[in-house]
Amino acid sequence: MTQQTVTRRTGRRTQQERSSTTTQQLLTAARKLFARDGYTLTSLDAICDAAEVTKGAFYHHFKNKEQLFRAVYEREQQDLSSAIAQKYSHYKDPWEALFQGMREFLVGSMEPSTQRITLIDAPGALGWEAMREIRADCRRMMFYGLCQALGKGRFPRHEIESLASMVYGAQCEAAMAMAHADDPDGLLEATLRQFRHLFDSVRRMPATLEP
């Protein structure tokens, strides 16, 4: 008889299940407070009260508020990556898929709570190095999308890597600019037009054979 079977029959939760539940409560409460009040003004006491857990339980799962914020930030990036991948999969043309995936990134980053956590507070709370590490999946998705759009074997890997870094960097900077813009919707539309022009130019590049 497995532990899961025993748990179902007795109605008792395992230590692992209780620990997972506490973690989820803390992440949910922290995200709500970070999005509403910001990282600096959100106290551990407020998070624990909202999550209905003790300070001792908090320190059993997280070292400090920064580590909890990092976990919240990681979840935001995972959700964004999933949304981008889903949007990308809806288009057969690889260039349109790449453009729509990038659009999903920008639009998703503009959602107020996501924007507050990932663009306004994260640079100060985590630092750029940690942010870059956590956002690596989005960077890899850009590289993959460009590989599919440019065609197999037409360009050396290092050229696609270079292009992916440039486009992804521009995308991230555009999202940051929109977070501080007076007219973010207008800036979004202008940014999308510029990216459309950029992709139209890139897709016409002549192939560069491997040396």
Mean pLDDT of 116-126: 96
> What does the pLDDT look like over 70-116, one tens digit per residue?
999 999 999 999 999 999 999 999 999 999 999 999 999 999 999 99
> What does the pLDDT look like over 158-184, one tens digit per residue?
999 999 999 999 999 999 999 999 999
Among candidate residues 121, 171, 111, the one with its CA nearest the CA of residue 141 = 171
Residues 105/80, Cβ–Cβ less than 8 Å: yes
Q: How far apart are CA 139 and CA 156, in angstroms?
A: 18
User: At 17, is the pLDDT very low, low, confident or very high (cuts 50, 70, 90)?
Assistant: confident
Among candidate residues 37, 110, 104, 109, the one with its CA nearest the CA of residue 69 = 37
Among candidate residues 83, 119, 118, 114, the one with its CA nearest the CA of residue 101 = 83
Mean pLDDT of 4-19: 64
Q: How far apart are CA 138 and CA 143, in angstroms?
A: 9
10, pLDDT greater than 50: no
pLDDT in the model for residue 11: 54
Residues 98/88, Cβ–Cβ less than 8 Å: yes
pTM of the model: 0.87
